[in-house]
Amino acid sequence: MTRFSAPIAEQIWDMKYRFKQSDGTPIDETVEDSWRRIAKALAAPEKDPEHWEEKFYGALENFRYLPAGRITAGAGTARAVTLFNCFVMGTVPDSMSGIFDMLKEAALTMQQGGGIGYDFSTIRPRGAEVKGVAADASGPLSFMDVWDAMCRTIMSAGSRRGAMMATMRCDHPDVEAFITAKSDPARLRMFNMSVLVTDPFMEAVKADGDWDLVFKGRVYNTVRARELWDAIMQSTYNQAEPGVIFIDRINQMNNLGYCEEIAATNPCGEQPLPPYGACLLGSINLAKLVKNEFEKGAKLDEAELDDLVALAVRMMDNVVDASNFPLEAQAEEARNKRRIGLGVTGLADALLMVGLRYGSDEAAAQTEAWMKRIARASYLASVDLAKEKGAFPLFDAKKYLATGNMMQMDKDVRDAIAKHGIRNALLTSIAPTGTISLYAGNVSSGIEPVFAYAYTRKVLQKDGTRTEEEVVDYAVQAWREKFGDKELPDYFVNAQTLQPMEHVKMQSAAQKWIDSSISKTINCPEDISFEAFKDVYMEAYETGCKGCTTYRPNDITGSVLSVSEPAKAPEAKAAPAEPTGGEVIYMSEPLDRPAELEGATYKLKWPDSEHAIYITVNDLVVGGHRRPFEVFINSKNMEHFAWTVALTRMVSAVFRRGGDVSFVVEELKAVFDPRGGAWIKGKYVPSILAAIGGVIEKHMISTGFLAGEGQGLKEDPQQQVVNLDAPRGKSCPSCGSFELRMVEGCMTCGSCGHSKCG
């Protein structure tokens, strides 16, 4: 017998969370060993660790409480990684030395596995005077490019790319350039971006008034507020960025408003944090707490919920003491405020199991009731911890209870805090749970609706063969086990069939009792009108949300995975007379090599190297278009032999999979050699690998695969699918499957759990 309810759950555990030796030999033989490892590590700070280890193990057992991935993978391993998921870095000084000090801190934080957020509003706008150097400022976006390049070189702990959030105030003089920055598909790819929208700005939008763009008291420009709002909306409508953060509401409702100012969030937006703020995450699996599912008396076991929340709060509070921190400033901030982010997953499944349609008024009311119960239980549990261990160091009862969030809390909770204090300044947050939801048996993610009730996934076996397995939503599987092939009730809806305003309704219902914020995606149909799209954001603002993230599939963002009905593969369109750069062809399996291919060979002479490197790129003609199929890299220098052979094999394997392979150029060109690069034809190239990337890029441009230098595709426009049984979206950069979907503000793979946000 296995604890895993689906093969994908065990695969996620083995790949992401199982403790192994450096050579891959498992240390955690079973998932029970993982639970024991975590429980033991988080019980260590207790006076009676053996007692609490058993209690914590019970909370983890059967996937009822799910610590975030950093904790699940790192607790009890003695590895030098942080158990915290979310960081906002220090305020960026408006000086060259200060900016690069911040860059160093960001690199150190990402090296340990932390996702980071930065507010770039503190950097003077482009063109502003720089005193003492007779020059004009280059502006915050130029420094964001530096951050972006740095992030490409940092591999986060657990082999995950670093994730970053950039924010800018709606009154910064460079906000218009910030809004459109990612319309360049090769720029700022490592960032999520959001505009900090203030209440006065929203009032000016409603009144169609003027809006000043200001830096340090100087008005640089005055625009129409509604035109600026429309620019934000148009960019988001077209390319899903920037997001919108209602920053005044965040600060007004912050329990710590008396001692901190928030201007940024972590990469997925669920944690608004002050400078050097840090927060850990964990989720209650609501789907595991429903009794008598699908029957008339089905309900969530509220007593079990209360007990589980109390244990989760205690475990998370102990993480503050057990974790490493990349920077001492982050450790001090965390210990002074002891902020935690307890959330939920499996909400949509739990609603289905009690017979409620996600997005309905009844489901919204039930969601609000469950969130309130979790809020009460978590605050009372933290009060109990304060009695035992003391309140957080910056606690001030009078000021704390006067904050916006605490003013709406029930009287008995407020009275308990006034009398005993509270251990954790903030307690609740709803984070992205894509990977841990798969690990828990494919429960619905966070507070998102079910994305797909079932889909087929190809799995690469150790012997190189591929098998297919069905991945079934947790609630659907429970229905099948109870009722067999009986048709699903009509209240089973998914993300594609819901109206955008139903998404907003659910986010708003949950937000009322979440003291931090929520990571959620509001799915919009491709044909939604621009005016209706703008209404979604205004509704989110008017109903109390702290931010808004939408996803509308189109030629820029790519298609969302369609699973509702089988469909035949679209027929290939007639090839145009001339090849057009950017057309993307997907192949369901790697193609066999034809006997003859068209190609070209390039000579690369690297300074101080005795022998030249020869690079051959051969192309395949598909649908009248040339696309790279293989590469050969050769040199007489035997010092290069191993890595050139490895690069030849890896790049060729990527090319033969099809899809948008322009990222190969981008990744190679981003590699720098710490020993120094070289000047080639008047241009600085940071490494031999970067030079090879430049050669491959040159070839792609000459064949029409790329439009020009630096024009690697961020997304997959004009995608065309070959030899597939159903329409596909973009391929996953980690596993190659076509299961990417926007979940909780992040492109996430439903097959392997890879997330753009790290």
Assign 3-class secondary structure to 276-319: CCEEEEEEEEHHHHEECCCCCCCEECHHHHHHHHHHHHHHHHHH
Whole-angstrom distance, CA of residue 718 vs CA of residue 274: 41
Which one-letter amino acid corresponds to residue 652? Answer: S
Query: What gap in Å lies between CA 283 and CA 334, rounded to an integer?
Result: 19
Answer for the pair 731, 659: CB distance below 8 angstroms, yes or no: yes
What is d(CA 341, CA 68) in angstroms, rounded to the nearest whole number?
A: 10
Torsion of CA 418, 420, 423, 424, to 10 degrees: -20
C-alpha closest to that of 219 among 227, 229, 211? 211
Q: Give the whole-angstrom CA distance, residue 94 versus residue 172.
A: 14
Element (H, E) at 11: helix 7-12
The answer to whether the beta carbons of residues 754 and 161 sit under 8 Å apart is no
* Catalytic one of 86, 151, 170, 268: 268
Catalytic annotation, pick one of 266, 318, 405, 424: 266
Q: How far apart are CA 123 and CA 546, in angstroms?
A: 25
Distant-in-sequence contacts of 746-749, Cβ < 8 A, 24+ apart: 746/192, 746/267, 746/268, 746/432, 746/434, 746/519, 748/432, 748/434, 748/435, 748/445
Closest Cα to residue 247, out of 175, 316, 335, 190? Answer: 175
Q: Peptide bond before 242: cis, by omega within 30 degrees of 0?
A: yes
Q: Of 46, 53, 260, 270, which residue is the catalytic one?
A: 270
Is 266 known to be catalytic?
Answer: yes
* Local structure of 462: helix, strand or coil: coil
- Got the DSSP string for 605-643? --TT-SS-EEEEEEEEEETTEEEEEEEEEEES-GGGHHH
Asked whether the beta carbons of 444 and 450 are under 8 A apart, the reply is yes
Contact call for residues 212 and 222 (beta carbons, < 8 A): yes
- DSSP for 491-543, written as a single string: T---TTTS-HHHHHHHHHHHHTT-SS-B---EE--TT--HHHHHHHHHHHHHT
- CA dist 35 and 65 (Å) reads 11
> Is 270 among the catalytic positions?
yes
Sign of the torsion angle spanned by Cα atoms 711, 712, 714, 715: positive
280-313 as b/e: b if 16+ CB within 10 A: bbbbbbbbbbbeebbeeebbbeeeebbbbbbbbb
Helix axis angle, 530-542 relative to 500-511, nearest 10°? 10
468 noted as active-site residue: no
The two structure tokens encoding residue 197 = 């929208």
Query: Mind telling me the catalytic residues?
Result: 266, 268, 270
